[in-house]
Structure 1
Amino acid sequence: MPELVCRYVRWVDGFNRRVGLLAMYLIFVITAILFYSSLSKMLRLPANWTLESAQFVMAAYYMLGGAFAMQSGDHVRMDLFYSNWSIKKRAAFDVLTITALLVFLGFMLYGGISSSIYAIEFKERSFSAWRPYMAPIKIIMTFGVLMMLAQASSALIKDIAVLRGKPIQ
């Protein structure tokens, strides 16, 4: 593979790893929000923002961590046959599935961008009593899809390199 392509793969892998490791700490934010929610209800001072905040943080958690999960092989995979295949056969199969994933993520990115633009232009708000602006979480989710798209392209490049007999480390 050309050096520029190898640098792209290393940069995407490194960036997604750092963002994924940071995103892991959002679980503590979710826990704190839900703890506060329980405590406030127990003290008969319920806050109307806690459930939706926890949902937004959870969405950020899994959207920003998705690329790292893909990179580290932590996604759910039905490997009834896959684990018994040779490295090259796995790479050939992955080229097919990652190509389908890239198409799907392309549509997701298009929808995320248009939804984020709509939320910004029209100052879209949630329909809950709290009524937070939707643009921040939509932008974070769109960025997560973009990270996943970059990680899938990195995985595709690595699989093609394996098929060519020159794996990228």
Structure 2
Amino acid sequence: MPAAIRLYVRYVDRFNRRVGRIVMYLIFIMIGVLLYSSVSRTVLDQPLLWSVEVSQFLMVAYFLLGGAYSMQLGDHVRMDLFYTRWSVRTRAWVDVFTILLLIFFLVVLMAGGISSTSYAIKYGETNYSSWAPPLAPIKAIMTFGVLLMLLQSISTLFKDIARLRGERLDGDDLDEEQPS
């Protein structure tokens, strides 16, 4: 594979791995917010208007920003009924076909995300709740998460094509621990 593709795979994989490892801690922040809300409601008898929405926003960020990392690790859902019985080459062909469909879907999703985010920024869109937080930040995070998944899908496509050619294309070698 050309050096530019190897570089692309290496840096996209590295970036998504770092983002994913950072974002995985959002779950603890979400748990903290929900725990605080629960204590505030039951012990202090003061329900919080913002806690459920903040938790939802954190979960969206956790899910979408971590999606590319999950894709990189191969931890996404796959129908294994036939897949595990196929040869490496057949799997690679099927993966190329399905990743092309995924890339098409993510491009459409990205276009919608950009449109929705720009609308939220232009018109100051807020959520329909008593707290009414602005929606532009979470929409921007969602669009960025889709972008990361799109970049990772392209990286995965390159890896699958390399497998079809009998090559190994791996972006994981830069982050491995080096002995000191």
Which TM-score applies when normalising by structure 2? 0.93
In the aligned structure 1, how far is the partner of 2:103 from the partner of 2:91?
18
What's the offset of the Cα at 1:104?
A: 0.3
Matched residue, 1:57: 58
Task: List 4+ stretches of structure 1 deviating above 6 A.
Answer: none
Tell me, yes or no, if structure 1 residue 102 matches structure 2 residue 99.
no
Q: For CA contacts below 8 A with separation 6 or more, give which structure has more relative contact order.
A: 2
Question: Match for residue 83 of structure 2?
Answer: 82
Distance 1:87 1:72 in 2: 18
| Number of positions where the alignment pairs a residue of Structure 1 with one of Structure 2 | 169
Query: Please, what TM-score do these two structures have when normalized by structure 1?
Result: 0.99
Deviation at 1:84, TM superposition (A): 1.6
Structure 2 gap segments, 5+ residues each: 171-180
Q: In the aligned structure 1, how far is the partner of 2:164 from the partner of 2:134?
A: 47
Output aligned runs, 1:10-21, within 5 Å.
Answer: 10-21=10-21
Structure 2 Cα separation of the partners of residues 139 and 60 of structure 1: 10
Per the TM alignment, residue 165 of structure 1 is displaced from its structure 2 partner at its CA by: 1.2
For structure 1, the residue ranges without an aligned partner over 5 or more in a row are none
Q: Which residue of 2 aligns with 1:2?
A: 2
Letter in 1 for 2:27: I
User: Which residue number in structure 2 is paired with residue 140 of structure 1?
Assistant: 141
| Displacement of 1:150 | 0.3
Partner amino acid, structure 2, of 1:4:
A
Superposed CA RMSD in Å reads: 0.6
Matched residues, percent identical? 56
Shift of 1:143: 0.2
Q: 2:45 matched to which residue of 1?
A: 44
Residue 83 of structure 1: CA displacement?
1.0
Q: Name the counterpart of 2:154.
A: 153
